[in-house]
Amino acid sequence: MWHIGGRGDVPIWGYRRAVEDLILPLLEGLGEEPPWRTFVARLRERMGADYASIVFRPIPVGQPQSRVVHLFSGADWPPLIAQAYRDGGYQDDPLPYFELAEGRPYRLGELLTAGDPRHEDYRRRMLEPSGMNVLRILRVEERGGISAWLTVSRQAGEFPPEADALLKALVPYLRAGIAAQVALERERTGAMVANEAIRRMNFGWITLDAAGKVLDADSHGARLLAAATILLCGRGGRLAARDAQANREIAEAIRDLASRPRAIVLSREPWLDMLLVPATPRAAAAGPAPALVAYVHSDSWSSADRCEQLAQLFDLIPSEARLALALSRGMSIAEAAGELGLTVESARTYSKRIYAKTAARGQADLVRFIHRSVLAIA
């Protein structure tokens, strides 16, 4: 909940001019933080209201009181009243929010029935202590079906006749603004979930220009570059590796502009690998367009920890777990045997047991099973 603040008593001065004065902050408000703070504050001033708010639910799921975006200007409800509403008072709210005709401003007298005990009780307990004695409520609905409610209120004095005309004139702009805000909220939610999954899988990215110069990186890629223990920004800001062989492979991939995806093992302990791929063409944007994307993947666990986890997950003995980890990291049977101090025949024997226990039909299956298991997000 965001408080925009201030009290305005400026009356409406020609609703057409007022509409023009409100359209720009409504459109620009999508880029504000909190969104629409200028629009809501200016609307309150133009209406001569004590309070103005926009309320909507970006995703229409969950309990009625959940996932509510509440943007307001002016004095908020008194703390005790607001807490009482959150604690269950919303269930006594008699205002028919979803039954309001879309695009039409309603007065309080049209929503509360005089003489109805429930309505009178709600007015006395919730509205009057909050200074909401005179109000207008307007429901708008964007094309995806999400409703938003615009409310302006006063403690005393009826709104001028131009008030309803001003609110009606704002309706098409409000619809468009709500649609854009709902789309942004959903994108933010999706990005948050995706970023968390990527973070848990220890993936990151670094973008490069055609000369291999680092252009940008996510937080994981930036941390690797800042540590400079395995990857670093070399001469001229170009991506480089501490390991000489890995550095040559990076340089070759950059020269080829990664005509095909190029996988490079940068470190085995701790594990760090990288996939260089051509950047997807994009529309014109600020800054140079990347030519390559380096996807980096690290393992925050030691090899010993990973072997223990593999043993638990697939019921492997320690020697089998060590071989399974090596095979899952792309080594051949011969390479893994040399790494682990085994004969090739012993490694083949162990691999058959591993495939039987994991139900893998070969190394490709084994890699997929391990990297798609819960160990990927451990």
Q: What is the pLDDT of residue 214?
A: 95
Q: What is the pLDDT of residue 212?
A: 93
Closest CA to 37 of 75, 74, 72: 72
Q: What is the pLDDT of residue 2?
A: 32
Range with lowest mean pLDDT among 186-195, 250-259, 351-360: 186-195
Collapsing DSSP to helix, strand or coil, 62 comes out as coil
Q: What is the pLDDT of residue 194?
A: 74
CA distance 310 to 325: 8
Range with lowest mean pLDDT among 88-102, 175-189, 346-360: 175-189
Range with lowest mean pLDDT among 158-172, 202-216, 302-316: 302-316
Q: What is the pLDDT of residue 135?
A: 93
- Which one is predicted more confidently, 300 or 144? 144
CA distance 217 to 346: 43
Question: Where residue 192 falls among pLDDT bands split at 50, 70, 90?
Answer: confident
Neighbours of 237 (CB within 10 A): 14
Q: What is the pLDDT of residue 375?
A: 66
Position 59 pLDDT exceeds 80: no
CA distance 378 to 370: 12
Closest CA to 320 of 308, 332, 329: 308
Closest CA to 4 of 49, 71, 82: 71
pTM of the full structure: 0.55
With beta carbons less than 8 A apart as the criterion, state whether 82 and 68 touch. Answer: no
Q: How far apart are the first and last CA of the chain?
A: 34
Q: What is the pLDDT of residue 159?
A: 92
Q: State the amino acid at position 329 in one-letter form.
A: R
- DSSP lists the bridge partners of residue 153 as 51, 135
Mean pLDDT of the chain: 84
CA distance 35 to 42: 13
Helix-helix angle 303-314:344-358, to 10 degrees: 50
Position 103 pLDDT exceeds 90: yes
Burial 92-131, CB ≥16 within 10 A → b, else e: eeebeeeebeebebbebeebbeeeeeeeeebbeebbeebb
Q: Which helix (H) or strand (E) holds 253?
A: helix 244-255
Range with lowest mean pLDDT among 212-221, 223-232, 295-304: 295-304
